[in-house]
Structure 1
Amino acid sequence: MIKCTECGSSQEEGLLFCSECGGFLLVETGKITAVLPFSEFANRPPPPPLAKDTLAPAAVAPKIALVVPSSRRRFKLTVQDEVQIGRASSELVPEVDLSDDDGAEKGVSRLHAKIHAVQEGLVLIDLNSTNGTLLNNYRLPPHEPYPLQSGDEIRFGDLLVHIFLSDSGSGTN
């Protein structure tokens, strides 16, 4: 049995809150907090990027759809060489302009990232953005190519986007 430090009532060990007054029972100092499962996930380094020598240009221009769940907008694109992602300004208008998706408020840089078509498929490259790019919850280092798969989750700053690759033989998106 343990004593509640708030009201002094006896409580069974292992309880978090006092059954009499609702006071928090775990006030001992020096105890180490348990690590929750998957808590290290956000701090893990991403898998290794593709080697620069595997980045030969693609023979066929892949078709993609970018979906922004918060605004329900879709961008259907053909990636001839690369597609720039960011927010429009007077000097620059990227192919994927996330201004209307609260891009500025959610930390999207004017020139945030690009999707590049290579023989291996598509790669995502962060362009040293202010608030970073996450691919499936991995923070990407700037200027490194990471392979994309259909259904991947990308965060440009705090703006969530899903990417879907079209099957080139079906002609549907």
Structure 2
Amino acid sequence: MIVCPNCNHQNPDAAIQCEACYTPLPAMTTCPNCGASVQTDASFCGQCGSSLEVNAAPATPSYIPPTIAPDLDIPDLPAPDPLIPPDPLVASVPPVASAHAPAINPATSNPAATEPIAPPPLPTPAQGSAASSSKTQLQLQTARLLHVQTNTMIELPANLTVIHIGKPNDRVPPDVDVSGFPNSEIVSRIHADIRVEGDIYYIEDVGSSNGTYINNTPLPQGNRHRLRPGDRVALGKGDKVSFLFQMS
């Protein structure tokens, strides 16, 4: 009889699953000593106590020796070509006059074969600084104001970060004096400032009486406008004192 491990129901020896709970039943074998029915995974017989390990399958060896490949008939390789020895180094030793050989006169020998070739001269620091300064000058941008009414060009100072525009006064002398242009009476003595930040130019009105106009649009006091090439700057109303901003 096979006892169900789940419900302990006794089943016939040929049963595969339990008749009561349908649990798969363990496989059975016969004890080689007493002939009693025992489970195949049992280590000892329940009737006679004999060890059942002899019926277990031999353990698979963990190490499998590698198979040795049969001998292959490998043909002999041809011998390599002999190495070519390098040319011996010949040191340039000046000839020594002996009693049997005449001395060599350097004046009559070939100067091209004996005189070393001088390397090209390196640039002096003065030349290097001059080259760098010339490159720096080429990279500098210049800004100008073109007076529209008289076609007069005014170069903006390159060494100032704040350029004052107006007419002569005792408080802030102008860097761009417009007193000599027609209708300059509408321009305040302290009219506008151009501020330079790197290569960017800004203009702002600093409290003029008649205002500053950028492209015919009034510029509020305290605000600033980034100037771009072609912008038209009018000092005062009526577009009577106007300039075109240019860069090169």
Q: Taking structure 1 as reference, are residues 73 and 120 closer, same or farther at Cα in structure 2, changes over 3 Å only? A: closer
Question: 2:140, 2:183 → 1: CA distance?
Answer: 27
Q: Taking structure 1 as reference, are residues 61 and 135 closer, same or farther at Cα in structure 2, changes over 3 Å only? A: farther
Q: Which has the higher strand share?
A: 1
1:160 aligned onto 2:239: no
Aligned to 2:188: 109
2:180 is paired with a residue of what secondary structure?
helix
Gaps of 5+ in 2: 1-138
Asked if 2 retains the 8 angstrom alpha-carbon contact of 1:61 and 1:117, the reply is no
Aligned residue identity for 1:165: M
Higher radius of gyration, 1 or 2? 2
Asked if 1 retains the 8 angstrom alpha-carbon contact of 2:166 and 2:187, the reply is yes
Q: Which has the higher helix share?
A: 2
Asked if 2 retains the 8 angstrom alpha-carbon contact of 1:87 and 1:103, the reply is no
Q: Taking structure 1 as reference, are residues 115 and 97 closer, same or farther at Cα in structure 2, changes over 3 Å only? A: same
Return the match for 1:94 from 167, 171, 174.
174
Q: Taking structure 1 as reference, are residues 110 and 130 closer, same or farther at Cα in structure 2, changes over 3 Å only? A: same
Question: 2:152, 2:181 → 1: CA distance?
Answer: 8
Q: So what's the TM-score if we normalise by structure 2?
A: 0.39
Gaps of 5+ in 1: 1-59, 167-173
Aligned to 1:81: 161
Aligned residue identity for 2:231: D
Aligned residue identity for 1:135: I
Q: CA RMSD in A?
A: 2.1
Q: So what's the TM-score if we normalise by structure 1?
A: 0.55
Residues paired across the two proteins, number? 106
Aligned to 1:129: 208
Q: Taking structure 1 as reference, are residues 61 and 87 closer, same or farther at Cα in structure 2, changes over 3 Å only? A: farther
1:146-173 alpha-carbon deviations (Å, 9 max, x no partner): 110011100001311111012xxxxxxx
The within-5 A match list for 1:21-100 is: 62-79=141-158, 80-100=160-180
Question: 1:82, 1:103 → 2: CA distance?
Answer: 25
Q: Taking structure 1 as reference, are residues 164 and 77 closer, same or farther at Cα in structure 2, changes over 3 Å only? A: same
**Higher relative contact order structure (alpha carbons within 8 Å, sequence separation ≥ 6):** 1
Deviation of the 1:87 alpha carbon: 1.0
Aligned to 2:76: none
